[in-house]
Amino acid sequence: GCPAPLLRPALDAGHVHGESGLGGAVLPAPPHGPRDGHAIDFIIAEIAAAPGEITLVATGPLTNIALAVRREPRLPEWVRDFVIMGGSAGRGNVNPAAEYNIWADPEAAAIVFSAGWSVRMIGLDVTLRARATAAVQERMRSFGKLGSELMLPALAQYADSNDSTGEPPVHDVCAVVSVIEPSVFTYTPALVRVETTGTWTSGMTVTDFEATGSPNALVATDIDADKFWDVVLGTYGSLAGSMDQRP
C-alpha cells in the first residue's frame, strides 16, 4: 500500500507566486480538468513505459517523488536523469539553513537523495544568480502579448524572499534549462545528506564536496547567466508571434 504522506505544515507559497502560481498573469480557463488517478502512479507508469528515455524534473517539495520511489524502487534505474530545483550548498531562504522545497518535506528529500540515483541539484547557489534584470525584462517587453500579458505580470508580483530589487531570480526555470542546455551550469560531485531532526537546521542539504564516500549528487555551483537568458528568451521568442495572432 501507499505510505502515509510525508508532508509537514509549510509556508503559504501564495505570497511568493500569487494564488494562481503565476503572479499577476491571467490565463484562460483550462479546457480539461485534472486527470483521474494519483500523481505517484502516473510518474511510475510513464517512466516504466520508456526506461532510459525520461528526465524527471522536480521543482517543488519531493513528497511525490519519495512516495514513487518507495512504491517502485527500480525508478532510479529507469530514469534517464533526475533534476531538482531545491537545496543549497550554502545558506537557505526559508531560514539560514534550508531552502523551501527541501524544508517543506525534509523526510521525503532524505529518501530521494538516498534512493540510488545521482541527483542533479540546481539549488540557491546558482538560481539566485538567474535574475530577471531590467535588460531582460525589456527583452520580454518586445514579445508582444507573451511579454505584456504573461511574463512581465508574473514577474511583477513575484515576491521572492531574498529579493527587493525588482529583478527577481527565476529559480524553477533553472532546472528546466539545465535539461535543455546542460552547459549553462557548472557541476561539482558531492555527497548530500538532508537534515531531518535539527532544531534550527531541519531541511538543510548538508553538502560535502570532499566526502570519502560515493557522491550521490551533482551540485550546480556556477551559472553562465547570459547564456541562461539567451536560452530562455530564445525559446519564448519563438512562440511570441503565434500568441499575438490569438484573439
d(CA 140, CA 169): 15
Q: What is the pLDDT of residue 17?
A: 63
Residues in the chain: 247
d(CA 102, CA 160): 16
Give the burial class of 47: count Cβ atoms within 10 A of its Cβ; 0-12 exposed, 13-18 middle, 19 or more buried: buried
Whether residue 119 lies inside any domain: the answer is yes
Phi, psi of 146, deg, nearest 5: -60, -40
**Grid cell in block for residue 25:** 498573469
Single-letter code of the amino acid located at 83: V
Whether residue 61 lies inside any domain: the answer is yes
Domain span at residue 80 reads: 38-244
Whether residue 17 lies inside any domain: the answer is no
Regions in the chain scoring below 50 on pLDDT? 1-14
Whether residue 223 lies inside any domain: the answer is yes
d(CA 113, CA 162): 26
The number of folded domains in the chain is: 1
Whether residue 197 lies inside any domain: the answer is yes
Whether residue 232 lies inside any domain: the answer is yes
**Grid cell in block for residue 151:** 511574463
Q: What is the pLDDT of residue 1?
A: 35
- Beta strand 185-194 pairing with 205-208: antiparallel
Whether residue 96 lies inside any domain: the answer is yes
pTM over 0.75: yes
Q: What is the pLDDT of residue 177?
A: 98
Q: What is the pLDDT of residue 8?
A: 42
Whether residue 63 lies inside any domain: the answer is yes
Which positions are catalytic? 171
Closest CA to 101 of 133, 65, 151: 65
Per-residue pLDDT tens over the stretch 191-231: 999 999 999 999 999 999 998 779 999 999 999 999 999 99
Per-residue pLDDT tens over the stretch 9-37: 444 444 556 666 677 777 788 899 888 99
Q: What is the CATH number of the domain that holds 105?
A: 3.90.245.10
d(CA 142, CA 243): 13
Beta strands in the chain (DSSP E): 55-58, 81-85, 119-122, 185-194, 205-208, 217-223
Inter-residue contact 122 to 110 (CB < 8 Å): no
Task: Return the SS3 of 207.
Answer: strand
